[in-house]
Chain A
Amino acid sequence: GIQVEQSPPDLILQEGANSTLRCNFSDSVNNLQWFHQNPWGQLINLFYIPSGTKQNGRLSATTVATERYSLLYISSSQTTDSGVYFCAVEEVANSKLTFGKGITLSVRP
């Protein structure tokens, strides 16, 4: 099956700093989603981005499908950005989501 690798595994930032989270995948995909998991376990949809670039406030994402990677940018980070960020891809052959192991972000005041 498809492999999804996220880096770095852990990230510590000072409030106000910018960061880039990376997601590499091993095969062609139909779709790609980025999620933020809050401390209670809820997965919050950030971006649905099979290709191209999208922006939503301080967050933006870019997927380069031909090179099999996606980037999530967080600008002017806030303590509320802390949590685990997951990238998930949907294979061409089926409609299940395969998740990476996540990136744990800690933003310090």
Chain B
Amino acid sequence: ETGVTQSPTHLIKTRGQQVTLRCSSQSGHNTVSWYQQALGQGPQFIFQYYREEENGRGNFPPRFSGLQFPNYSSELNVNALELDDSALYLCASSSDRAYEQYFGPGTRLTVT
């Protein structure tokens, strides 16, 4: 059974640029959630997708957007990057909306 994978591992961007992060769900999982983890903090919920529809959103501005594809893989897009967007971005998948979540290794984004 393949676990949750994310790409890229690390990324360096300049303020104002746009970035796309990718996540492949664990086999058989139809729900994907994205989290942002700043240094020294716990992960913060960005949004969740269930069967290609957004199923809840945290306190993040509209420049954070996402997609879920028919194979249940997912993208997180961030426009107009700000320095405070520097963080570890984690993707988690689950077999349904209210089930145990399994996390990928994360993408570490640095905005300069």
- What is the interface of chain A, defined by CB distance below 8 A to chain B? 30-31, 33, 35, 40-43, 45, 48, 86, 88, 90, 94-102
Contact = CB atoms under 8 A, between A and B. Distances in A.
B105 to A, nearest CB: 5
Interface residues of B, number: 26
Contacts of A88: 42-43
Interface of B: 31, 33, 35, 37, 41-45, 48, 55-56, 58, 88, 90, 92, 97-103, 105-106, 108
Nearest to B97: A95
11 contacts: A40-B105, A41-B37, A41-B88, A41-B106, A45-B102, A45-B103, A95-B97, A96-B33, A96-B58, A97-B33, A99-B43
A97 B101 contact: yes
Contacts of B43: 43, 86, 88, 97, 99
A31 B100 contact: yes
Given A95-B55, A96-B45, A99-B42, A30 B98 contact: yes
Contacts of A43: 43, 90, 92, 103
Contacts of B42: 86, 88, 99-102
Contacts of B101: 33, 97
A95 B88 contact: no
Contact of A42 (B31, B41, B105): B105
A98 B50 CA distance: 18
A101 B105 contact: no
Given A43-B103, A101-B42, A102-B42, A96 B56 contact: yes
A69 to B, nearest CB: 17
Of A31, A94, A97, A99, most B-chain CB atoms within 10 Å: A97
Given A45-B103, A99-B43, 20 more contacts: A33-B100, A33-B101, A35-B103, A40-B105, A41-B37, A41-B88, A41-B106, A41-B108, A42-B106, A45-B102, A48-B100, A88-B43, A95-B55, A95-B98, A96-B33, A96-B45, A96-B48, A96-B58, A97-B43, A99-B44
